[in-house]
Structures are given as C-alpha cells and as structure tokens.
Chains A and B, each alone.
Chain A
C-alpha cells in the first residue's frame, strides 16, 4: 500500500516526481530533434533531472560523442561542442544564436521554445505537435 501519510507530510517524493517529469520532457524533445530512440547527450555543467533519471538518454562525457548538448549555462562551452546541436535549459540561453531551442521556466510555468530559422539551419523538422512551441 502506498504510504499516503508520507506523501502528505514529506516532500521527498514530490522532488523525485518533479525531476522524473522534467527528464521525461527532455527525453521527448531530444528524441524529436535527433529522431533517435537512444540519443547520446553531453550535459554542459550538469542537468540534475537527467543525471538522476536519464530515461532513454545516454549521458556521455565528451562533446564529440554526443548527438546533442544540453546546457545548464552558456558560459565556457567547449569549442568542440559548438559544432553540435545545442539545447538550452533557460530562456536566456536562447540569446546564444547557436542554441536551437530551450526548455525553461518563465512566469512560474514551464515552457518550450524553438526558433524556426535555427531549426532550418540544422535541417531539423519537428513533428507538427511542436508547432505551438516554435516561433519565427
């Protein structure tokens, strides 16, 4: 039986649920970008939710082995990473023109945003289900 009291009075499970869902969203986005079931990702400066719950993502330790780079900051990105697909975890990461999109919090709500021109540069066509998350 589920320990309902613990669910009510402890927050540990809530944090876990948060991270799992965040990682699930990253998984879905990465799969859509790379068109691969099991993509290799390099986490620049770490993304806690993916590190805890990688799902179908394979975390690699060098950019050259990655299909996509997920950023926790746009600072100090290794040069070899710039040749790869960059995906942000904060709205401000989109200021970097090499970042094709981001999954971030804004105004207390989680958001996904891609820029069409940047997707075109990398010849990426997302499924129409992502249309509402693409801006010109």
Chain B
C-alpha cells in the first residue's frame, strides 16, 4: 500500500512538472520577439514580454537608462535625448524609433525619440534594440540605433485590462486596452493618461519644473495580411530651463500633438511588404522671462512663443527573393516632409522669419544580399542611397551607406562582424540654423562574439569608429567640425539562467569618444549593469543596479531599483517598485550660462531618474 501511495505521489509530481514545464517552454518558444527579431541585422538587445513584465518597465526610459553604451537623459527642454543635452543640436536624430512597422518620426529632428523616448509601455509587448549601424531594411534613412517597439496582439492578450499607478511624488497613470479576434479580424484599442509629476529645482531665483501630462490613443485592426493603425498623442507641460542660454525663464510651457495613420500589408507569402504612414505633428513652446533677465541671444525679451507644424508621408515597398544560397532584398522608399516654424512671437509681436526651406522629398533605394556560405557561415552585403530634394533653392543632399557583415555560428559560438560607412543627411532642425551644413560620415567596425551554454550566455563586443564632419555647437552657431573624432567601445555581458524563471544579467561597458570641438574634453564613459529577475510562486521580483561613470563629466551615478509584482489571482495583479531608491543615480548637469561661461556654480544638477516609489494595480477582464 505504501509503495502504491509513493508511486502515486511520484506520478503526481512528474505530471505536475510536466504540465508546468510544458507551459513555461511554450511561453518561451512563443515569445513574439522570436518571430520578429533579426540576429543578422546588428548587435541586438531584446527585452521580451516576460522581461518587461517582470522588470515592471513602465516607460521606455526604464529600458533605455540601462542601454549599453548610452545613458538616457533629457535636454534643457525636458525632451529625451540619449546622446546630448544641448537642444541646439539634436544628436539623437540617428536613433530611429519604430512602433510595429511604422517609424515614429518627427519631420524636423528626424527621430521620434524626442517625443517618444519616455513613452509608457503599457501597450507594448516587446522591444528590440539594434545597435552598431543596423541593417538597412528597417527604414528609409540610415540609423546608428534602431529601437523597435511591438504592440500587444489579440493572440497573446485577448480580453481587456485596466491599470492604474500612483507614485510617491504624485505621478499617476491610468490606461485601458481591449483586444480580440472575431471571424479573422483582430483589433487592439488602447487609451492612456499619464500625469508625470517631478520634483522642482530652485536656481537663480527661479523654480525649474518639468511636469508633463500625456494622453494617448492607439488602435489597430488586422485582417489577414493587412494591418491598419491609428495613433494619437497629446502632451503638455513644462519646458524645464527652456532652449535659450543666459537666464532662467520665470515660466515655461510646451505642448505637442501627434497624429499617425499607417497601414502595412504583406503579399506573396510575406515576401512583399508594402507600408504607408502619414504623420501630423503640432508643437508649441513658450517662455516668460522676468524684466531684465532675457536670454543671451534675445535681449529685451520678456515673453517668447514659437509654434511649429510638421507633416510627413512615407511609402515603402520591399521584396525578398530566396535564390539558392542567396536571400536578396530590394526596397524602395519615398518620404516627404514639410515643416513650418515661422510662427514666432517675442513680447507678443510677430517676428518676421525667413525659413530657409519648408519641404523635403526623400527617395531611397537599398539592396541587400544575405549569402549563406554553408551551414555555419553567412555574409551580408548592403548598399543604400538617399536623395534629399529640398525646395526654396536649399542645397540638396545625396547620402550613401555601405555595410558588410560576416556571421559565424555553431552550437555554442556566434561571431558577428559588421563594417559600415554611412553618410547622414542634415535634418531640417539643424539645416535651418545653418543651410551650409554638410553630410556627416560615420565609419565603424564592430565585432561581437558570444558563447552560449544551457544556462549561460557570455558576450563581448569590440568597436572602433571615426566620425567626420560632426555637427557641433561651439557657441558661435552650429557647424561641421573639422576634426575627425574616433570612438572606441568595449562591452562584456554575462547572463546566468539559474532556473527557468530566474536569471542574472551582468554588463560592463566602456566607450571613449574624442571631442569634435577644438580643445574640447574627450569623453570616457563606463557603465555597469547588474539585473536579477526572479519568480517565486505568484511573486515576480526585480532588482537592478545601473552605474554610470564619466558620463558628461558628472559624478558617478549608482541607480538601484527594485520591485515586486504579486498575482493575487488570474485577473488581479498588484506591484510596487522603487526607482533610484538611494537617490544616488546619475545626475545631468545643466548649465545656464555657456557664453560667456560664468562659473561652476551656474550648473543645476538634476537626477535623470528621480527617486520614486510606485504602487500599481491591474485588472484583467
């Protein structure tokens, strides 16, 4: 009898392990990222649905702050800009952000990062980040980094969810989504409201604020191989220090409205892709200055108002052929952008401006060949060319990109080598300030080697690049630098899966960059990340330490964040998360006076991620 009970118990345990383990394996294999990621497209980082859920990643900032090589920060106007803080130069224009098949674009800056770099992630399933001058088949224009966000789908999120969060500083967020498939038609609708309240900072007798309220609606409908998307975002809030140096505004305001309609279709067994996207954006910014405290370049100003309108239309067609050992892709793309930034009022008087041009047509063509030499070796060759045609006798530009990749893989080892030379056209935001700006050229070689076992993944990336004609702002205006700046980078990563639901990730990154300004300081930036994700019963536990050293010559930042998520039942989840818990995270250094440079006490040090504790609840229906 005892033997029988023992056998029954053993059978029960085995069966339990079988069903639990099958479910876990099924979840891992079915991650949508497995179906969208492209290992040959660059140095890839994937944040799966499971990662984002367990990290309690509330916004894109939560992911970007630990992104290798870069540090998320914001410029003087409180706008996301990974590489830079000077709003006169938008360095992040080569960082392209996509939502599903649509590029989130602002016509003026060339990158949607400025509007979407801290977007909430409640409607996002997973994120892929391609670094190292990624593949050309992503989009019409070249990129140094491509961030691809994929929205949730009816297949994996059927039904609805309401979610609310409240943080210690008053930040609150509420959103709802509903998704379903009926008779072959899938749909997803999502609405969000975020009231992002941040600490205030006193400086030179003024109070600096950077609160933002954001409302968003996103909807998609899919029928067979066709998807239609509708995306509206409206935000308003403070513009922190404002764009202009010299004096701190007494009050600031900024407002953005973004509307996007897009379609994506696939034909011929998914080998032919056709995408259309239309974007309309309206931006408004205003500053009020105390009398006698005008910005350096606008003497006598007490009020400043600027309104901008931008629109763009993008059409892209891509065809892929599989010919023996070759996979050939050819894509042609067209984009027009128009922009109006003429409406400027100073002290309530309309200021006549002479906008250099207000329309740009971009024609782009790329050819890529993936050559499978044998089972273990792959070569990729890509060529892309753009023609930028501008109105009002503005100088046109032609840019060319070349990319050569070699990938070796066996059961444990993967080696990726990418050599690329890419020319970047001048985005309108910069060209308006100096119509004579020339194309920037980035040339790089990157080598990634990874070794995988059943429980570990180790990765090393080495890189070297030279940047020619970088756009710089030396105080006398923006111009192309005469200095060729060299970039070196070393990345080491180690991931240990010590059980199916527990993992430890370690990263150490180093990059150095020679200043493109004569006499400018070179940058040496070290960053380290330790992240642990654990699941115990119905609890998901998250711990993360992000260290930045040498970034923008600020003190070393130690940002420790942790969180716990509890599944009360299948329909109700609660979570608590602390960010920058010890208030020792990276701070950004904002200077008021740059010309003439006044003194070190002119700086305002502001945490990139403020200390905050957030309580969240979500209910599924």
Contacts and interface: CB of A to CB of B under 8 A. Distances in A.
Contacts of B569: 135
Contacts of B521: none
Which residue, of B23, B157, B376, B378, has the highest number of chain A Cβ atoms within 10 A? B23
17 contacts: A4-B376, A4-B409, A4-B411, A6-B375, A9-B38, A9-B39, A18-B26, A18-B29, A92-B158, A107-B53, A108-B156, A110-B23, A110-B26, A112-B19, A128-B12, A129-B12, A129-B18
Contacts of A90: 158
B155 interface: yes
A52 B29 CA distance: 17
Contact of B372 (A5, A17, A21, A91): A5
Given A107-B161, A108-B125, A130-B19, 12 more contacts: A5-B409, A15-B35, A17-B29, A25-B23, A28-B18, A92-B180, A105-B155, A105-B157, A106-B570, A110-B27, A111-B570, A129-B19
Interface in A1-49: 1-6, 8-9, 11, 14-15, 17-18, 21-22, 24-25, 28
B22 interface: yes
Contacts of A127: 12, 15
A104 interface: yes
A3 B378 CA distance: 12
Contact of B159 (A14, A17, A92): A92
Interface residues of B, number: 44
Closest 9 CB pairs of A and B: A129-B16, A129-B15, A108-B49, A21-B26, A105-B156, A14-B34, A18-B30, A17-B29, A108-B156
Contacts of A123: none
A18 B19 CA distance: 15
B15 A8 contact: no
B351 to A, nearest CB: 51
Contacts of A22: 26, 30
Interface in A84-136: 90-92, 104-113, 127-130, 133, 135
B476 interface: no
Contact of B158 (A11, A17, A91, A128): A91
B40 interface: yes
B482 interface: no
A25 B158 CA distance: 19
Contacts of B378: 5, 9
Contacts of A133: 19
A105 B125 contact: no
Nearest to A1: B375
Contacts of A1: 375
B25 interface: yes
B512 to A, nearest CB: 32
B526 interface: no
A21 B16 contact: no
B342 interface: no
Contacts of B410: 4
B375 A4 contact: yes
Contacts of A18: 26, 29-30
Nearest to A3: B375
B409 A105 contact: no
A21 B73 CA distance: 43
Given A11-B34, A18-B29, A28-B18, A108 B12 contact: no
B13 to A, nearest CB: 8
B620 interface: yes
Contacts of B155: 105
